Amino acid sequence: MAFKIITDSATDMPVSIREKYNLHVIPTPFIVNGVDYLDGEKMSTAEFYRLLEDNKNEISTYHINSFMFRNAFEPYAKAGDEVLYCCFSTGIAGTFNAANIAKRELLEEYPDFKLTIVDCRGASLGFGLIVYKLLKMQENGASKELILEAVEYYVSHIRHVFTVETLHYLIKGGRIGRVAGTVGEALDLKPIIIVNKTGALESIEKVRGRKKSLKALVDYVEANAADPMDQVFGICHGEDPETLEIAKSMLLERIQPKELLTTCVGCAIGAHTGRGVLGILFFDASDGKYAEYLK
């Protein structure tokens, strides 16, 4: 019997961390021209964004369904393992509800199966940072009980702030009204978006121009980050290394985090943001009593 921490591909977890901890990442499905794919499998993000930018292609996503979750969870139930599944925000997708349906079905067959499903109220490396901290805690000897306590703490203190280069994909996905979005595009307005405390997307500001939008992200981070020199930060981007370097330079000029992870936004989220998405992820509280397990 073992205690396993698992997650899904909406974390956009860097490959180095996945490999180091042998992390089980349940892939999110997406569809290209009627053909089903799984995020992170069989198609690179570079190829995905190339296809996304060709308007001839029809691309859509759907959340991991209960059947997929059952297939992912059942081997642990059979082995008698305990599982903590850190889940994509229920305020953005229906992943959490589907996972719980699978859990109820499995408990009918495996009544002793201990599966904890946590709505991380986050997206991309936002909840990826939470998973990373939990894996480090486990590696450094933290008990299962302390990890289950820590996940709730970190969920309540994770912050996301991001922007996009074009409003096209937010309009298409219904996140922004078509009229407002068209006007915004004409005026070169860039939204500054957070994932709020309920796990939903919320636009907090609009600025004109790409560089001003990146500066606004760093302004938000500087105003809300706790103990940055003792924290791990994340930056995610949509296969846009040039913008990544600009944002990193801006961030590191004003804030010197203990560790900075970078990752590419995968297909599950990228389909709704486009290549030009850029986000910064961080915590608004110190590690407190969990710090001893994060050295």
Question: What is the maximum span of the chain, computed from C-alpha positions, in angstroms?
Answer: 58
Local structure of 162: helix, strand or coil: strand
CA torsion sign for 155, 156, 157, 162 is positive
Burial code (b: 16+ CB inside 10 Å, e: under 16) for 258-272 equals: eebbbbbbbbbbbbb
CB within 8 Å of 68: residues ≥ 6 apart: 26, 29, 98
Q: Out of 56-65, 123-132, 177-186, pick the least confident.
A: 177-186
Residue 275 to residue 262: CA distance in whole angstroms: 15
Q: Is the pLDDT of residue 187 over 70?
A: no
Q: At what angle do helices 125-139 and 144-155 cross, to 10 degrees?
A: 160
Q: Which among 241, 230, 214 has a CA at the least distance from the CA of 283?
A: 230
Going from N- to C-terminal start, the domains of the chain cover: 3-27+62-155, 158-293
CA torsion sign for 38, 41, 45, 49 is negative
pLDDT value of residue 171: 64
* Block residue for tokens 């991991």: 64
Q: What kind of fold does domain 158-293 have according to CATH? A: Hypothetical Protein Tm841; Chain: A;domain 3 (3.30.1180)
Mean per-residue pLDDT, 64-80: 97
* Block residue for tokens 């589907």: 98
Residue 127 to residue 268: CA distance in whole angstroms: 14
Secondary element (H or E) of residue 144: helix 144-155
pTM, entire model:
0.93
Over residues 206-249, the pLDDT tens digits come to 999 999 999 999 999 999 999 999 999 999 999 999 999 999 99
For residues 80 and 169, the model is more confident at: 80
Q: Out of 81-85, 128-132, 166-170, 197-201, pick the least confident.
A: 166-170
Please provide residue 54's backbone torsions phi and psi, each rounded to the nearest 5 degrees: -90, 110
pLDDT value of residue 22: 97
Q: What kind of fold does domain 3-27+62-155 have according to CATH? A: Rossmann fold (3.40.50)
* Block residue for tokens 């915590």: 283
Contact yes or no for 280/223 (Cβ under 8 A): no
Mean per-residue pLDDT, 4-19: 96
Helix, strand, coil percent values for the chain (each to nearest 5): 45, 25, 30
Burial code (b: 16+ CB inside 10 Å, e: under 16) for 152-169 equals: ebbbebbbbbbbbbbbbb
Q: Is the pLDDT of residue 156 over 80?
A: yes
What are the beta bridge partners of residue 161?
A: 194, 280
Q: Out of 85-99, 179-193, 203-217, 265-279, pick the least confident.
A: 179-193
Report the range out of 48-52, 122-126, 130-134 with the highest average pLDDT: 130-134
What are the beta bridge partners of residue 207?
A: 190
